[in-house]
Copies of this chain bind each other. A is one copy, B any other.
Amino acid sequence: MGRTSFSMTASGKVALGVDIGGLKLKNPVMTASGTFGYGIEFSPYMDLNRLGAVVVKGLSLRPRDGNPAPRTIETPCGMLNAIGLQNVGVEAFIDEKLPLLRRFSTRVVANIFGETVREYSEVARRLDGARGVDAVEINISCPNVKKGGMVFGTDPVEASKVVRAVRKATGLHVMTKLSPNVTDIKVMVKAVQDAGTDSISLVNTITGMAVDVEARRAVLATTVGGLSGPAIRPVALRMVWEAAQVARVPIVGVGGIVTARDALEFIIAGATAVQVGTANFLEPDSAVKVIDGIEDYMKRHGIRDVNEIVGSLKTPGPRANPTGSAR
């Protein structure tokens, strides 16, 4: 299928369609896992058909209860969450949620996780035949029970195993979602693309913490949680840019996107698509506003096809301080 056949939007003015390694989206804006429920919850607030894709809450083989409360706390321009991956399980998703989502013409990406490589591949296998699922997004920011709780997403070898297993288990598009809690994101990018992922999304949350100083206790029941929201945008953007330098597969940028300007930062830095996360809590229709804003920007700049600006970042000549340690 040629690019033009899917890239024209309803407005007919600018081409917003993108192709992330075979997964074709009507526009580059998706909603991030865990911030958009199973999608349907948002239909009172927007036309879900407008979205490039909906990424649903992380699914595991069996339903999961999640962590005790408190699970969230606001931080400066961000929030910490320790939901503990509560979800209905992949079966209930397929039986109860998917039929409702199928009514919309929006791509559905199933975010998946497990505590063993086998669990990951089992969930992927279950989704393989499910009508209405267009892709799986592997959340590797998960405790690896076999490795003493160490996180899959910070070890390139373990991460590759997961990706390879999922790749084998499903014919769906495989997107791998990277954790920012690593020294060198490029190592992870190379590992998962060598393992056969079709695209890479990043970043998941940065591990953080808050203390209730009156009670002298951690605010979150789990002590630490994941930081998301505008606060992390500069870090996410840097990692997306670094990833884009070495990636052979398309990149999906995630982290702190609230406005179209934020989304464009990621696209210009090398992301073919973006995901809007925490911003959905500020305004339920944030993602739609981002789409509209990208369209406005393109018209203003005379850009006919959004693909023209993917990775169009001009960097200055020789960097004075080439390592990124810039203080």
Contact = CB atoms under 8 A, between A and B. Distances in A.
A309 interface: yes
Contact of A68 (B207, B241, B320): B320
| A: contact size bracket | 35 or more
A42 interface: no
Interface string A53-88: 000001000000011100000011110111111000
Nearest to A218: B315
A10 interface: no
Contacts of A312: 216
A235 B206 contact: yes
Count the copies.
Answer: 2
A297 interface: yes
- Of A77, A224, A232, most buried by chain B (CB within 10 Å of CB) is A224
A103 interface: no
A211 B324 contact: no
Given A77-B230, A80-B234, A143-B323, 20 more contacts: A67-B320, A76-B77, A76-B256, A77-B78, A83-B326, A83-B327, A85-B327, A150-B323, A154-B184, A204-B327, A206-B235, A213-B261, A213-B264, A213-B297, A216-B314, A217-B313, A218-B314, A225-B327, A226-B327, A231-B232
